[in-house]
Amino acid sequence: MTFENLWKKLFSYEPPTNYNFTIENNNSSDNNFSNKESVTKPEKEVKIFPSLSVNKEYMQTRYNTLINSDIILREFTINSRNKQYNAFLVAIDGMIDSNILNDFVLKPLMLRNKNNLFDGTQNKVISEAVANNITVKKVKKFDLSNYLLNCLMPQNSVKKITSFSQVANGINSGNCVLFVDTLNVAFDIEVKGFKQRSVDKPNNEIVIKGPHEAFVENIRTNTSLIRRIINNENLIIENVEVGKITKTKCAVCYMQNITNEDLVNEVKYRLNNLDIDSLLSAGELEQLIVDSNVLGIPEVLSTERPDKACKYLLKGRVVVIVNGTPYGIIMPAVLVDFLTSSEDSNLKVNFGNFLRILRIIASFITLLLPGLYIAITSFHQEILPTSLLYSILASRASVPFPIIVEILTMEISFELIREAGLRVPSPIGPTIGIVGALVLGQAAVSARYCKPNINYYCCNNWYCLICNP
């Protein structure tokens, strides 16, 4: 077996062609799997029914209330126009604020008060005008849905919805949905109250001078941080849902009077055309929206600092915030963006430019120094001074490997140390580091071998285990 076949056998996957089961041949049109149109046809949107029992049965089936322990389905009676209407609401326990739900939803609807105690024969006066000593009134007949929305629910965010897909979106996002008998509409009431991390200091982009606030996992908290810094009505924040299953909310932020409209349209086009099932992080979104290139050159910049995101917004860039991720994606990004820091604008010009020059030099050293070292020591030794060349040759006299193997081993060792520092649990991390340093240090000292001289005699070095056992 060749190495290529072994590699394919271990790491590749080929779908099987022979199966141990069979599918019954049914000629009915309902179960015809060969009809691709019937399989790929999108699900028809179901409207809310005027019957409360039908709506209740549909919600119980859709959310599996018999086995789901965190689904709240609360049935109660609404007092309105001296009449009583059966109703129920659906919410998810742990994602709502129970105090808001009790004080501003259930209490105004269930208890008797001045708002819901009138005889029902009155009409609502829309406007009243006096012309030529004649009073003209425009009235509107009583509407239960408008009356509930405008009079009986003192909540800041309530909207009517007409389909069960909107109902599911509202419940899954942390709201509660109210169904009332005889109404073919429902009410999406915002009662979010799930636990979230408070605004804290940034962990990766630390500065001495500058703000000490970082993004969190909640998208509305992140957009509010940006709004607090940019106090301007031209800041536009649009919501885009990505993912067929998760329906992750993404906020597209840009300055209306500064950012190029073609750039905004391109970003929204790429987000709206992502045909994926789930989106869980900003890192996944980066890979999905950027252009593919062989060298892996980054085209977007991620940051956890709201002040840095605002600075690029004022430069005409677009910032995308993904719900559930404490990072914002700045697009597009150029080479200079990766060599600047958030602290540069808080320093004097001379110090800021000096730090930028240091970063440029460090980037060149990081990219070119291993290759230059191999090229000079292996092929162009005449470039080095004689004393330095003797020192390098003397240090490598006892190493049995080529220079390129030594460099690759060092690079891989650094990556292993970095990965171990991130993944190893903190209680055993220092212990493994100390033991590893002792083992490697002892191995480096003891790994000397006898190198005979030109007369094939022993080297007589003090560190040689053969000469001095």
For residue range 286-296, what is the model confidence (pLDDT) as tens digits?
999 988 777 77
Q: Which amino acid, 418?
A: R
Helix-strand-coil split of the chain, %, nearest 5: 40, 15, 45
Q: Give the strand order in the sheet containing 158-161.
A: 71-80, 83-92, 176-180, 186-189, 158-161
Q: What is the pLDDT of residues 204-233, one digit of tens each?
A: 888 888 889 999 999 999 999 999 999 999
For residue 66, give Cα distances in angstroms to 57, 309, 452: 12, 46, 83
The structure tokens listed for 239 are: 């919501």
Mean pLDDT (whole number) for 8-26: 58
Residue 301 phi/psi, 5° resolution? Answer: -125, 130
Half-sphere exposure in the Cβ direction for 405 (13 Å, CA):
5
Q: Please say whether the dihedral angle defined by the alpha carbons of residues 322, 328, 330 and 336, taken in this order, is positive or negative.
A: negative
Confidence of residue 128 (pLDDT cuts 50, 70, 90): low
Distance CA 92, CA 175 (A): 8
The structure tokens listed for 467 are: 């000469």
Confidence of residue 437 (pLDDT cuts 50, 70, 90): confident
Cβ atoms of 97 and 193 within 8 Å: the answer is yes
Domain boundaries defined on the chain: 3-25+32-40, 52-189, 219-345, 350-423, 426-469
Distance CA 285, CA 281 (A): 7
**Looking at the predicted structure, is the pLDDT value of residue 175 above 90?**
yes
Confidence of residue 139 (pLDDT cuts 50, 70, 90): low
Helix, strand or coil, per DSSP, at residue 70: coil
For residue 394, give Cα distances in angstroms to 85, 357, 388: 95, 35, 10
Q: Which residue has the higher pLDDT, 271 or 464?
A: 271
Q: Please say whether the dihedral angle defined by the alpha carbons of residues 268, 274, 280 and 285, taken in this order, is positive or negative.
A: negative
DSSP summary character for residue 382:
G
Burial-class residue 242 by CB neighbours within 10 Å (0-12, 13-18, 19+).
Answer: buried
**Looking at the predicted structure, is the pLDDT value of residue 469 above 50?**
no
Burial-class residue 261 by CB neighbours within 10 Å (0-12, 13-18, 19+).
Answer: exposed
pLDDT at 238: 94
In this structure, the number of other CB atoms found within 10 A of the CB of residue 251 comes to 19
Instruction: Tell me whether strands 235-242 and 134-140 are parallel, antiparallel or unpaired.
Output: unpaired
Q: Which amino acid, 395?
A: S
User: Among 128-137, 241-250, 431-440, 458-467, which is the least confidently predicted range?
Assistant: 458-467
Cβ atoms of 314 and 257 within 8 Å: the answer is no
| Mean pLDDT (the chain, rounded) | 81
Q: Omega into 154 within 30° of 0, i.e. cis?
A: no
Confidence of residue 380 (pLDDT cuts 50, 70, 90): confident
Give the dihedral of Cα atoms 368, 369, 374, 377; nearest 10 deg. 130
